[in-house]
Structure 1
Amino acid sequence: MGTVPLLSDDDLSPEARAVFDEIRATRQTDYVNNFWRALAHDPALLRATWDRLKVVMAPGALDPLVKEMLYVAVSAANGCSYCVHSHTASARAKGMSDEMYGELLAVVGMAAQTNAVVTALQVEVDDAFVA
């Protein structure tokens, strides 16, 4: 259960409404998801989050599908069920196949396992790997 009620369009401040209008225009949909509706209680945080997300998730050196899959992986590692669901849906909409999803989850699981082992062993970083 959420800690704040989800705001309907009728309950939005003018500042939050402006962000919702941008979300709808950018995504070419009338749907605004629950994440944004919860953030709408704090219009400044809503604006800052939306502005940053547009930059980070825009096409660049990494294509949008890769970015969504990375978002799924980090969300799984952080235990964010909402983000796992929303970004899995977005990745699927951008072309992620069942096979790609299976491989993504295998990498997430492998990284979690080896990260735990190397942390427990306190293995020193090889000189060749130091950035």
Structure 2
Amino acid sequence: MATVTLLQDHQLSPEARAVFDDIRAKRGTDFVNNFWRALAHDPKTLKRTWESAQAVMAPGALDPKVKEMLYIAVSVAHGCSYCIHSHTAAARAKGMTEAEHAELVAIIGMAAETNRLVTALGVPVDDAFLADRADPA
């Protein structure tokens, strides 16, 4: 349940409206999701977050679909249901198949399990895994 009202377009400040206009233009849709509507109460945070999200999720060394899949994994790790759903939809829109999604979920589950085991057992990091000691070959 939201801790703030989700602002509708007629309730936006001029600064928030400008960000919503940019979201719509860049995404090519009239839909502005609830995350942005909640952030619209603070236009500075809305603008900063929108600009940062664009920069991080833009095409780069990682494929945009891979970036969405990474976002899903981090969202699962942090228990953010909203982000899991929104980024699963985005990954599917960028071509993630059901087989890729199933494999992603299996990897997330395995990583969570082995992370807990390593933490519980206090396993020290192998010298070979340290950046300053790893064999560059």
Looking at structure 2, the residues matched to 105 and 54 of structure 1 have their Cα atoms a distance apart, in angstroms, of 25
Looking at structure 1, the residues matched to 45 and 13 of structure 2 have their Cα atoms a distance apart, in angstroms, of 13
Looking at structure 2, the residues matched to 16 and 10 of structure 1 have their Cα atoms a distance apart, in angstroms, of 11
Q: Which amino acid aligns with 2:107?
A: V
Q: Which amino acid aligns with 2:21?
A: D
- Which residue is equivalent to 1:106? 106
**How far apart are 1:35 and its partner, in Å?**
0.2
Partner of 1:37, secondary structure, is helix
Residue by residue, what CA displacement relative to the aligned partner does 1:16-45 show, whole Å, maximum 9, x if unpaired?
000000000000000000000000000000
**Structure with the greater alpha carbon radius of gyration:** 2
- Which residue is equivalent to 1:10? 10
- Which residue is equivalent to 1:115? 115
Looking at structure 2, the residues matched to 43 and 80 of structure 1 have their Cα atoms a distance apart, in angstroms, of 23
- Which residue is equivalent to 1:35? 35
Task: State how many pairs are aligned.
Answer: 131
- Which residue is equivalent to 1:21? 21
- CA-atom RMSD in angstroms: 0.4
Partner of 1:52, secondary structure, is helix
Q: Which amino acid aligns with 1:73?
A: A
Q: Which amino acid aligns with 2:48?
A: A
Structure 2: give runs of 5+ residues left out of the alignment. Answer: 132-137
Percent of aligned pairs with the same residue?
Answer: 70
Looking at structure 2, the residues matched to 16 and 48 of structure 1 have their Cα atoms a distance apart, in angstroms, of 11
**How far apart are 1:5 and its partner, in Å?**
0.5
- For normalisation by structure 1, the TM-score amounts to 0.99
- Which residue is equivalent to 2:48? 48
- For normalisation by structure 2, the TM-score amounts to 0.95
Q: Which amino acid aligns with 1:9?
A: D
Looking at structure 2, the residues matched to 23 and 64 of structure 1 have their Cα atoms a distance apart, in angstroms, of 17
